[in-house]
Amino acid sequence: MGKIIAIANQKGGVGKTTTSVNVAASMAATKRKVLLIDLDPQGNATMGSGVDKYGADSTAYELLIDEQPVEEVIIKNTSGKYDLIAGNSDITAAEIKLMEVFAREVRLRNALAPVRDYYDYIFIDCPPSLSQLTVNAMAAADSVLVPMQCEYYALEGLTALMDTIKKLASVVNPDLKIEGVLRTMYDPRNRLANDVSEQLKRHFGDLVYRTVIPRNVRLAEAPSFGAPAMYYDRSSTGAKAYLALAGEILRRRDKKKTQAAVG
């Protein structure tokens, strides 16, 4: 069965969409079948995948509101070599219309059921807010990957986010777990970043990925070329970091499978 990972943080500007696009591309590069779902009305993950968000025939709106079959909404052959369900400003309207429909929290989970076993990984780029779209993502996901910067308010914000995820899980998805905490835009020369990083490891232990995503010009430039970093500049430190992250996610999953088999 494919694994569904929501990439979420209520705080904007933490590298959430950059992580969504680049981890999807890196996982696809390991020959896994990958689907990326853009649930952010800004549509940045769509544009970063080389797809015109204004020109997409169908988006997450049609999937969630019009109940168009998921197979008809999926866009193949993106610049990142993964499949995509596009997002754009129409999703803002979906947010409103979801309030009017029955079983609104599980709309996405039910829509993905026909293709879940086809993909090895499904990543969901969530909006930077606790909205009906985020609730749908949490209800559909097996786990949540939390990207965050190592800055002054990060630890407090992360603790609040973890509490929110637990509360959501108790209501819409009791099996939801934290996949991991990813340190993004990391500058090892910054003393505060190092201090916060150490605090994170003390508080959250093994949930914190060993992989760290550095501040990197190529990562910032890649979206304007409509491509993940590994196809814009494979030799960049940002591209290498996301490949390392994909490897770490795979190793963690294998380890859990082994432990489950033994246990």
- The string of pLDDT tens digits covering residues 228-244 is 999 999 999 999 999 99
How many Cα atoms occupy the beta-carbon half-sphere of 233 within 13 Å?
15
Confidence of residue 255 (pLDDT cuts 50, 70, 90): confident
Long-range contacts of 50-54 (CB under 8 A, 24+ apart): 50/78, 50/79, 50/80, 50/226, 50/227, 51/75, 51/78, 51/84, 51/86, 51/226, 53/86, 53/87, 53/88, 54/88
- What pairs with residue 208 in β-bridges? 181
CATH topology of domain 3-262: Rossmann fold (3.40.50)
| 3-class secondary structure per residue, 77-102 | CCCCCCEEECCCCHHHHHHHHHCCCC
pTM metric for this prediction: 0.95
What is the domain partition of the chain in residue ranges?
3-262
pLDDT tens string 42-93? 999 999 999 999 999 999 999 999 999 999 999 998 999 999 999 999 999 9
Closest CA to 104 of 8, 172, 9: 172
